[in-house]
């Protein structure tokens, strides 16, 4: 029977939740890396036993962890347990944690400044890895979206990282941090066209590349941010919270923006609003059903100044029409006195049939539905605030 | 040997318990102590000082002999008691919380 593995990152460590294909009962393992912020954990599509984790701390910086056995054991790439901590010629290892912007003459770009909250310019400064996206084909290739916003890639299993610096050329000095920081938080890889990828940055917008990240273009036409930007239709500067794509229709992109749920039918060249009858179109995550590319999910949040569900009711909204027509999914979710948030990387879908959908809250609950959202149950209730949820469907 | 006390998170990362002892040749300064620490425990690179700039991370403090050395030049000589191993060099996570 199939198994499902949930990879949960929290403010105080990581948790791995396991179930069989019925998804009725769950085993909770953790905390791993207790006391650290685990921004994201994700498995390789090419080798589900290969997991990457971003372990970070405002005190002690960025650590990359890797597991080659599905999360049973972990090591920093290049410094496996029992291995010497220096190379044969005595040079220190630890390169796996090193994220340095590429300013070299050959592949890099000058490190300029970006906008700061007060409108002044501020130099780029690495803070943490928000999102890890393993390659679809190669377990040793993985992308990292970081704050201050940039994209890094490792081709040696996370041992070393190189910035894909040309991204910063797309009007980088006009990018600015959102309230959570100027982070690159979404990386989508197109299964049908190697080298085609989309990323999103708060608050810069969405960007696309067709050549594996050598060159980039802003893909923000149609976004309107009248309360966030002096020019509501600007090329860059939009606070994109999340974008999602179904692998079978890579030209259709869905976006949860700061305000507005948006859709593109042309690979991001233009966007139109599909918020429809949502009670509020502010929110963070957005995801697509595993088998129905027009079925999408969001979690409406009251506003940018009140990060909790409207009326204290935690409701996932589902559209079976690719937007505009939305239905509230409430069965099994708290419908009173609930004031949690659901962050941008905290929703995931498995590939079983019926499709399972999962999300984590800042209150430490992980909710799951084994029937596409019709019914929900709490898988675990009292974890630390949840930063990310990923799922692996294991045969 | 120079005695260095690490905060719990960094002891876990380095897989050590208690103090670590480091051999430092030449003048004993923050820089030479941290160079020796990172050479012996490379997984700590970037956790105390920033990669590249080698600046102290903002929420890390250096204490020795009941003094805060965090804002001293990294090339200032540390107290003789640290250099002789009579007193430890403390790497501390800055206080947080209420």
pLDDT in tens, A173-219: 889 888 788 999 999 999 999 999 999 999 899 999 999 999 999 99
Match 């999962």 to its residue by tokens. A358
Residue A93 has pLDDT above 70, yes or no: no
Shortest distance, CA A31 to any CA of chain B (angstroms): 14
Local confidence band at A92 (pLDDT 50, 70, 90 cut-offs): very low
Q: CB distance from B77 to chain A under 8 Å?
A: no
Residue scoring higher pLDDT (A284 or A231): A284
Q: Quote the pTM value.
A: 0.91
Mean pLDDT across chain A, nearest whole number?
A: 94
Query: Which CB contacts under 8 angstroms, 24+ apart, belong to B65-68?
Result: none
Residue spans of alpha helices (H) in chain A: none
In total, chain A counts a number of residues equal to 395
Q: CB distance from A212 to chain B under 8 Å?
A: no
| Listed residue (A19, A53, A1, A2) closest to A380, CA to CA | A19
3-class state of residue A59 by DSSP: coil
Asked whether the beta carbons of A9 and A387 are under 8 A apart, the reply is: yes
In total, chain B counts a number of residues equal to 98
What pLDDT score does A118 carry? 74
The whole-angstrom separation of Cα A392 and Cα A49 is 10
**Total CB pairs under 8 A between chain A and B:** 66
Residue A297 has pLDDT above 90, yes or no: yes
CA A253 to chain centre: 15
CA A206 to chain centre: 13
CA angle A299, A254, A276 (to 5 degrees): 60
What would the pLDDT profile of B11-67 be if each residue is shown by its tens digit? Answer: 999 999 999 999 999 999 999 999 999 999 999 999 999 888 889 998 899 999 999
What would the pLDDT profile of A245-260 be if each residue is shown by its tens digit? Answer: 999 999 999 999 999 9
Q: CB distance from B57 to chain A under 8 Å?
A: yes
Q: CB distance from A107 to chain B under 8 Å?
A: no
Q: Which residues from chain B sit within 8 angstroms of residue A75, using beta carbons? A: none
Q: CB distance from B11 to chain A under 8 Å?
A: no
Stretch among A90-99, A185-194, A235-244, A360-369 having the lowest mean pLDDT: A90-99
B53 CB-near residues (< 8 Å, 6+ apart):
none
Half-sphere exposure in the Cβ direction for A353 (13 Å, CA) = 2
Q: CB distance from B55 to chain A under 8 Å?
A: no
Shortest distance, CA B79 to any CA of chain A (angstroms): 25
| Mean pLDDT along residues A71-83 | 79
Shortest distance, CA A55 to any CA of chain B (angstroms): 11
What pLDDT score does A83 carry? 64
The whole-angstrom separation of Cα A236 and Cα A170 is 8
Q: Which residues from chain B sit within 8 angstroms of residue A65, using beta carbons? A: none
Q: CB distance from B52 to chain A under 8 Å?
A: yes
The whole-angstrom separation of Cα A30 and Cα B89 is 33
Residue A72 has a CB neighbour count (10 Å cut-off) of 11
Instruction: Give the E-state strand segments of A21-117 in sequence order.
Output: 27-32, 37-43, 51-57, 61-67, 113-115
Structure tokens given for B75: 């090339």
What pLDDT score does A78 carry? 78
| Mean pLDDT along residues A212-231 | 90
What pLDDT score does A115 carry? 84
In terms of CA atoms, which chain B residue is nearest residue A34? B9
Q: Tell me which residue in A59, A86, A93 faces B93 most closely, judged by beta carbons.
A: A59
Longest CA pairwise span in chain A (Å): 64
What pLDDT score does A277 carry? 98
Domains and CATH numbers, chain A: 95-377 (2.130.10.10)
Q: Which residues from chain A sit within 8 angstroms of residue B15, using beta carbons? A: 81
Shortest distance, CA B97 to any CA of chain A (angstroms): 13
The whole-angstrom separation of Cα A102 and Cα A215 is 15
Residue to test with chain A: of B35, B42, B45, B54, most A Cβ within 10 A: B42
What pLDDT score does A180 carry? 82
Q: Tell me which residue in A57, A93, A100 faces B42 most closely, judged by beta carbons.
A: A93
| Listed residue (A365, A395, A375, A385) closest to A17, CA to CA | A365
What would the pLDDT profile of A4-51 be if each residue is shown by its tens digit? Answer: 999 999 999 999 999 999 999 999 999 999 999 999 999 999 999 999
Provide the ipTM. 0.75
Longest CA pairwise span in chain B (Å): 42
Residue A157 has pLDDT above 90, yes or no: yes
The highest-level CATH class for domain B2-93 is: alpha beta
Buried b (16+ CB within 10 A) or exposed e, A293-320: bebbbbbbbbeeeebbbbeebbbbbbbe
3-state helix, strand, coil in chain B (%, to 5): 25, 25, 50
Percent share of chain A, pLDDT over 90? 82
Shortest distance, CA B31 to any CA of chain A (angstroms): 16
| Mean pLDDT along residues A375-393 | 98
What pLDDT score does A111 carry? 84
Q: Where are the domains of chain B?
A: 2-93
Shortest distance, CA B67 to any CA of chain A (angstroms): 20
| Listed residue (A76, A290, A23) closest to B12, CA to CA | A76
Half-sphere exposure in the Cβ direction for B94 (13 Å, CA) = 13
Contact A60 B38 (CB under 8 A): no
In terms of CA atoms, which chain A residue is nearest residue B38? A92
């Amino acid at each position: 029977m199939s198994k499902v593995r949930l990879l949960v990152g929290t403010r105080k460590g990581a948790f791995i939740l396991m179930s069989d294909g019925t998804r009725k009962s769950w085993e909770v393992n953790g905390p791993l890396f207790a006391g650290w912020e685990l921004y994201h954990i994700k498995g390789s599509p090419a080798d589900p036993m290969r997991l990457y984790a971003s372990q970070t701390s405002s005190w002690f910086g960025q650590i990359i962890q890797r597991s080659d056995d599905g999360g049973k054991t972990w090591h920093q790439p290049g410094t496996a347990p029992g291995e010497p901590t220096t190379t044969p010629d005595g040079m220190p290892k630890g390169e796996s944690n090193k994220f340095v912007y590429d300013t070299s003459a050959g592949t890099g770009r000058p490190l300029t400044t970006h906008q700061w909250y007060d409108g002044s310019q501020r130099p780029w400064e690495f803070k943490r890895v928000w999102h890890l996206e393993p390659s679809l084909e190669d377990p040793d290739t993985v992308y990292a979206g970081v704050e201050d916003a940039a994209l890094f890639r490792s081709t040696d299993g996370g041992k070393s990282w190189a910035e894909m610096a040309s991204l910063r050329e797309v009007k980088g000095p006009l990018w600015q941090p959102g309230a959570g920081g100027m982070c690159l938080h979404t990386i989508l890889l197109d299964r049908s066209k190697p080298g085609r990828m989309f990323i999103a940055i708060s608050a810069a917008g969405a960007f696309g590349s067709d050549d594996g990240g050598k060159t980039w273009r802003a893909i923000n036409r149609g976004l309107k941010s009248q309360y966030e930007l002096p020019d509501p239709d600007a090329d860059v500067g939009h606070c994109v919270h999340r974008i999602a794509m179904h692998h079978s229709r890579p030209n259709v992109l869905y976006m949860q923006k700061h305000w507005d749920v948006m859709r593109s039918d042309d690979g991001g060249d233009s966007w139109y609003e599909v918020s429809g009858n949502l009670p509020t179109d502010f929110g963070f995550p957005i995801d697509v059903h595993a088998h129905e590319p027009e079925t999408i999910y969001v979690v409406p949040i009251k506003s940018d100044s009140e990060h909790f569900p409207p009326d204290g009711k935690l409701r996932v909204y589902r559209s079976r029409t690719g937007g505009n027509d939305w239905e509230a999914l409430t069965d099994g979710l708290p419908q009173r006195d609930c004031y949690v948030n659901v962050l941008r990387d905290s929703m995931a879908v498995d590939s079983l049939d019926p499709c399972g959908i999962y999300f984590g809250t800042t209150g430490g609950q992980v909710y799951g539905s084994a029937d596409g959202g019709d019914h929900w149950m709490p898988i675990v209730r009292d974890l630390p605030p949840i930063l990310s949820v990923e799922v692996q469907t294991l045969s | 040997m120079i005695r260095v006390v690490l905060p719990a998170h960094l002891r876990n990362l380095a897989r050590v318990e208690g103090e670590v002892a480091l051999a430092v040749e030449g003048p004993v300064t923050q820089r030479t102590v941290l160079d020796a620490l990172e050479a012996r425990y490379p997984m700590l690179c970037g956790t105390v000082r920033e990669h590249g700039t080698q600046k102290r991370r903002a929420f890390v403090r250096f204490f020795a002999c009941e003094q805060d050395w965090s804002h001293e030049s990294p090339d200032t000589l540390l107290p003789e008691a640290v250099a002789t191993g009579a007193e430890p060099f403390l790497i501390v996570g800055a206080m947080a919380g209420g």
